[in-house]
Amino acid sequence: MRQIRPFFAFAAVACFVTAVSAQQSPPAEEPGWAKGRPKTDTAMRMAPVPAFPIPTAADKLPTSRFKLPPGFKVETWASGVLDARALRQGAKGNVFVSTLFVGNKVYAIPEQGKHEPKVIVDKMEKAAGIEFYKGSLYLATHKQIMRFDNIEDKLDNPGTPTVLYDKLPGGEDHSWKFLRIHKDKLYYAIGAPCNICDPGEYAKIYRMNLDGSSIETVASGVRNTVGFDFDPKTGDLWFTDNGRDWFSEELPNDELNHVTGPNQHFGYPFCHQGSIPDPEFGWGKSCNDYAKPAALLGPHAGSLGLTFYRGKMFPAKYQGAMFIARHGPWNRTVKYADVSVAFPDGKGGARVEPFMTGFVENNNYLGRPVDFLVLKDGSMLVSDDHAGAIYRISYTGKK
């Protein structure tokens, strides 16, 4: 027994030291998306929907399950496009496709033929923002904006890009980009670096000259937009904005916003959906001091791509309307996703209605729409990063 007692004494000391060390060790840092999450069992099981590591096989795609208004049809335009996000078209018929969390690449797909994706940029982290303009492909990651000149003549070897701006903050939360060029200005956004926080110089839409100079703020209080476009009639900027998480299952709504003047602030983090003060940052603030949404897009809708329909194939009702990709919620018990269409009301607002449904079955995602591209014939492509596919919508009914 005398020999055993020292062993137990040592073990007791070791356990005590381990316990003290555990108490002194800092807790694992909570990811930005989890800030504000309730400690209930249901909420603690929720997390961002993981992307598929491989694209869905062509014969397993949900294309046949989609429903559209009478006269419209949808077909698979391309499959095997892992993590398909933004869509842009070159002058020589190539469709460029960006990626985000899984792909880390940019594809080129010929408009004619078999639509087989060709990787032209690889191992480029968060290569989500793309735009094509005057022969050049603009690409934005979470850290920099660059340009590949004469891209369609160099698809086999695009070469080293020209870096236009290398001071983007990087990070994880809402750091990916969406690009548009309008009147020789490049527009991009820097999203909030968190679910809910004081964003400082983040949560804004910016624009710059095409050489990266003369950066200026277009709009503030924008939590996370990865979808915006310019009204072909008025030139006004419209954008989707993702509402904060963990407020409740039904609140707040995502927003469709309309920029009608300089230096507008759209509320984040003080006010949500134009009418709800934030429980932490809304004290002493009034929602009346911020620009109101043009329309509400649903709770936690994950509203992404926004494109004005500029084609002639669709009926007149849709010409000049905005197509919006509602990617779908992850921190909501009941899932939904669709392609919606928003009709400007001429008074600064818009009316929104569903257009293409069928992305959810048995409360599971079959696909998740991201972005759009109106082709020269007036048909429209829709990217799906969940299934790794691109669909083509055409109209065959009577106008």
pLDDT digits (tens, 9 = 90+) for 6-40: 443 444 444 444 444 444 545 567 777 777 777 77
Closest residue by Cα to residue 222 from 188, 261, 250 = 188
**Segments in the chain below pLDDT 70:** 1-28, 399
Q: What is the pLDDT of residues 119-141, one digit of tens each?
A: 999 999 999 999 999 999 999 99
Within 10 A of 242 (CB to CB), how many other CB atoms are there?
Answer: 26
Q: What is the pLDDT of residues 43-58, one digit of tens each?
A: 777 777 777 778 999 9
Cβ atoms of 102 and 83 within 8 Å: the answer is yes
- Our separate counts of H helices and E strands in the chain read 2, 29
Structure confidence at residue 48 (pLDDT):
77
Tell me the sheet residues that pair with 381.
373, 392
Sheet bearing 295-299, strands edge to edge? 228-230, 237-241, 253-259, 295-299
How far is residue 43's CA from residue 200's CA, in Å, rounded to a whole number?
28
Closest residue by Cα to residue 130 from 118, 148, 154 = 148
Give me the residue label for tokens 């310019």. 230
Q: What is the pLDDT of residues 355-386, one digit of tens each?
A: 999 999 999 999 999 999 999 999 999 999 99
Within 10 A of 188 (CB to CB), how many other CB atoms are there?
Answer: 24
Structure confidence at residue 4 (pLDDT):
41
Structure confidence at residue 336 (pLDDT):
97
Structure confidence at residue 39 (pLDDT):
77
How far is residue 326's CA from residue 336's CA, in Å, rounded to a whole number?
8
